[in-house]
């Protein structure tokens, strides 16, 4: 990996690190080292990185702002790509907003509201990056990315760049075609509408207060662990199964919100996985419903 790291550095693809601890880059504060950790600052640096990795047959994965992700205690073999500050931007043009993939999705909802633009209020409670939100078709409060996306710029695995319109993204519940075809979102454009700044601010404040009261955001966590099954809520099923407060090591099913697992300090990925499997088996045994994890599992098992 040292030789490959040297080649990447010579190609000037951004910051390149060997053996970077990924616990530093996840909201769960969990994760072993990445063989290679690459932080490109431009689309061309990203495309060059992918071409070099593919030429050497080195597997790669991406990491956004580190929410919604559980990294193995053993780390990640191959390369982890995290978009750098060059992708952390926002530009307004009338009722359209263009944001870089590493820009905070929560922050985007706030700045759009201050511009008097409505449509992103649902994002006020969704941690993570714009790129991650597009990848997952993130949503809340009856809306999601597919409702407002205009286009997404994607660098595909072979290093080619494509701008995809909403209709080309294959959106479904917490799904996009990026979960089927390997590529990395670099920026996205959203079509919003003019609205009343006070009403938008009030809606965002309501959502923020609800999150503060009902979610353990002051603790190391990763957002919702399971997808909601049709016509039900994962949190309701988990709580009804008596699993609030269930623990494995320093990992615990939150007493505040049953669809969150919190790290009390020093929890391992295996602790979290054990809890995930316990929740799945208990809920399935009692209610016949198999909960599907929403968090992404990354790394060597």
DSSP 29-48: ----EEEEEEE--SHHHHHH
Q: Are 242 and 287 in contact (CB under 8 A)?
A: no
Average pLDDT over residues 255-273: 97
**Terminal alpha carbon distance of the chain:** 20
Share of the chain above pLDDT 70, in %: 100
* Joined tokens for residue 187: 């920026």
Amino acid 141: pLDDT: 83
Amino acid 279: pLDDT: 98
| Structural domain 216-298, CATH architecture | Alpha-Beta Complex (3.90)
- Among 224, 248, 252, 254, the one annotated catalytic: 224
Average pLDDT over residues 222-236: 94
- Among 45, 187, 248, 294, the one annotated catalytic: 294
CA atoms of 1 and 93, how far apart (whole Å):
43
**Which CATH fold topology does 87-200 show?**
3.30.465
Q: Are 83 and 102 in contact (CB under 8 A)?
A: yes
Amino acid 207: pLDDT: 84
Amino acid 126: pLDDT: 81
Active site residue 95: no
Active site residue 294: yes
CA atoms of 138 and 134, how far apart (whole Å):
7
Amino acid 175: pLDDT: 94
Of 32-46, 69-83, 204-218, minimum mean pLDDT range: 204-218
- Among 174, 176, 189, 211, the one annotated catalytic: 174
Share of the chain above pLDDT 90, in %: 87
Per-domain residue ranges of the chain:
2-82, 87-200, 216-298
pLDDT digits (tens, 9 = 90+) for 175-218: 999 999 999 999 999 999 999 999 999 999 888 888 888 899 88
Active site residue 146: no
User: Sorting pLDDT into bands at 50, 70 and 90, what band is 84?
Assistant: very high
**Which CATH fold topology does 2-82 show?**
3.30.43
């Amino acid at each position: 990996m040292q030789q490959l790291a040297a080649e990447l550095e010579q190609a000037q693809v951004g910051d390149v690190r060997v053996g970077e601890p990924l616990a530093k880059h996840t909201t769960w504060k969990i994760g072993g080292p990445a063989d290679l950790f690459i932080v490109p600052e431009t689309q061309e640096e990203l495309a060059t990185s992918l071409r070099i990795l593919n030429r050497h047959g080195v597997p790669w994965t991406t990491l956004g702002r580190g929410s919604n992700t559980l990294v193995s205690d053993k780390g990640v073999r191959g390369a982890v790509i995290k978009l750098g500050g060059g992708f952390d931007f926002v530009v307004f043009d009338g009722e359209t907003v263009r944001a870089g993939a590493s820009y905070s999705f929560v922050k985007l909802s706030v700045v759009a509201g201050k511009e008097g633009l409505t449509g992103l209020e649902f994002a006020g409670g969704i941690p993570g990056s714009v790129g991650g939100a597009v990848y997952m078709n993130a949503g809340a409060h009856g809306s999601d990315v597919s409702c407002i996306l205009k286009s997404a710029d994607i660098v595909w695995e072979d290093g080619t760049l494509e701008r995809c319109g909403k209709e080309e993204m294959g959106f479904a519940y917490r799904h996009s075609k990026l979960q089927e075809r390997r590529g990395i979102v670099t920026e996205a454009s959203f079509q919003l509408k003019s609205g009343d700044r006070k009403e938008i601010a009030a809606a965002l404040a309501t959502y923020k207060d609800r999150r503060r009261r009902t979610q353990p955001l002051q603790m190391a966590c990763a957002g919702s662990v399971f997808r909601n099954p049709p016509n039900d809520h994962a949190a309701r099923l988990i709580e009804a199964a008596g699993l609030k407060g269930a623990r494995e090591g320093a990992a615990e099913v939150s007493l505040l919100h049953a669809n969150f697992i919190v790290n009390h300090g020093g929890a391992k990925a295996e602790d979290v996985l054990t809890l995930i499997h316990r929740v799945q088996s208990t809920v399935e045994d009692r209610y016949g419903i198999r909960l599907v994890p929403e968090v992404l599992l990354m790394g060597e098992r």
